[in-house]
Amino acid sequence: MEILERNWRRPEAELDLIARAPDGTCVFVEVRSRTGTASGDPLETITPRKQSQIVRAARLYLDEAKPNAPAYRFDVVAVTFDVNAPPKVVHLPGAFETTR
């Protein structure tokens, strides 16, 4: 994917990454990380409330940037850091959808 924006911020919203997939899809990527597993898996932090915040931010971006994209989707990248092993990276394309 081609990265279009990193840490896109507005006073009312933010997006970690905005990318363009090879097929032209606009991809909004939420990156979550944890050190170790004592406090849970980073994927557990993508709650319905967090999903709503990401969708709201994506709508603001789409209204402002007006990307020429045939579709859009929401991906999640989860990274777990462990001092005794390489980071564990999980990429979930289309991790959630918007109902509106």
At 58, list the tokens: 């994506």
Query: pTM of this prediction?
Result: 0.90
Q: Name the residue ranges covered by the structural domains of the chain.
A: 2-96
Per-run averaged pLDDT (10 residues), the chain, 100 residues: 96 96 97 82 89 95 93 95 90 85
The pLDDT assigned to 65 comes to 92
CB contact at 8 A, 19 and 3: yes
Q: What's the CATH number for 2-96? A: 3.40.1350.10
Q: Residue 19 and residue 25: Cα distance in Å, rounded?
A: 8
Task: Beginning with the edge strand found earlier in the chain, give each strand of the sheet holding 72-82 in spatial order.
Answer: 2-10, 13-20, 26-35, 72-82, 85-96
pLDDT at 48 (0 to 100)? 92
